[in-house]
Structure 1
Amino acid sequence: MVTQNVAYTSLINKPGVTPVLTQAQVWEGLKLKVRRAQEFVPAITSCQVLSEETLPTGELQTTRQVELVPASGSAKSIKEVCVEYAPCRVVFQQEDGSTVMNVISKRPDGELLLSYIFEWRHPDVAEGSEKAAQLEAAHWEMAKVAVDSSIDSIRRFVAEGKIQ
């Protein structure tokens, strides 16, 4: 079994890009992404919310089913439990133990960053194998695309007035 940990961070408001996004707008976008993931991540083709509940600690927990078509393989149906930790983090827990985190953070100068942190578990892949190397390369590329496309989608929704 191989477990691959990958993280990718991007500057949310790159020079010259408009509209400039606030942390509140990015947070609203991440909450929307929990329910409509296919509008944010190209590898996700559909997203169905199965249930929602407020945890005793106050966080919203959403269980969803997503259809994922990774560049490295065939389509997969994945059930995820998503917990929103306002105003900066969403954790996605998959049935196989894989975990994804979406985190909004700030640099010392106040610039906003968006990081996606992945822990991918592959029980059928041997550590050090060619398949493991291929998956790792694909995960790095998918992480970059996921972060950048999410920022682009949030910016588009703000420009269209769908996020205030």
Structure 2
Amino acid sequence: MTRAQAWKGLELKARDARLFLVPGLCTRCEIVEESATHFVREATIGGNELREIVTLEPESKVTFFQAAGPREGVIINELFEDEEGELLLRFYCYMGLRGKEPNGREEQAEQAQFASENGYKAALMSTLKQTRELLAKGKL
């Protein structure tokens, strides 16, 4: 997969997460505002209503700023090459629960859930799988 193809998959995911996340995890995802520098999407993911400000750094990085919902912080999906020149996708986030004690009981439980097999790793693997499937179908 080329960087351009991987980027197209990330951009599609940013615009409609329903296509890329584990089936049933995202039940609504719509762009409600768009400008030259960002767009705002509203989504229902894992039963939570979210509002995210999304920025795209072409063929490099997608950043999701959590503007409303149970979490605050940022999620980043970044394309990069390793030392051998192999294209990789890095996923990282800086998140907390809105209105909860930092690193408190609720945040620790949330962290454990997202670190589980059904958490962020599943979302990342699902994104890669769907991107590869779209590529195989000639849609990227």
Q: TM-score, normalised by structure 2?
A: 0.86
Which of 144, 156, 159 lines up with 2:121 in the alignment? 144
Counterpart in 2 of 1:22? 2
1:78, distance to aligned residue in structure 2 (A) = 0.5
Q: TM-score, normalised by structure 1?
A: 0.75
Where in structure 2 are there 5+ consecutive unaligned residues? none
- After the TM superposition, which residues 41-56 of structure 1 pair with which residues of structure 2 at under 5 Å, given as runs? 41-42=21-22, 43-55=25-37
For the pair 1:31 / 2:11, whether they are aligned, the reply is: yes
User: Could you tell which deviates more after superposition, 43-52 or 26-35?
Assistant: 43-52
1:123, distance to aligned residue in structure 2 (A) = 3.2
Preserved CA contact (<8 Å) 1:34 1:62: no
Preserved CA contact (<8 Å) 2:42 2:50: yes
Q: Give, in whole Å, the separation in 2 of the partners of 1:132 and 1:93.
A: 18
SS at structure 1 position matched to 2:123: helix
For the pair 1:115 / 2:87, whether they are aligned, the reply is: no
Higher relative contact order (CA 8 A, sep 6+): 1
Where in structure 1 are there 5+ consecutive unaligned residues? 1-20, 56-60, 70-74
1:118 counterpart letter in structure 2: C
Q: Give, in whole Å, the separation in 1 of the partners of 2:104 and 2:132.
A: 39
- Number of equivalent positions: 133
Q: Percent identity?
A: 25
Return closer, same or farther for 1:130/1:114 CA change in 2, 3 Å cut-off.
same
Task: Flag the structure with larger Rg.
Answer: 1
- After the TM superposition, which residues 1-164 of structure 1 pair with which residues of structure 2 at under 5 Å, given as runs? 21-42=1-22, 43-55=25-37, 61-69=38-46, 75-96=47-68, 97-141=72-116, 142-163=119-140
RMSD over equivalenced CA pairs, Å: 1.6
1:112, distance to aligned residue in structure 2 (A) = 1.5
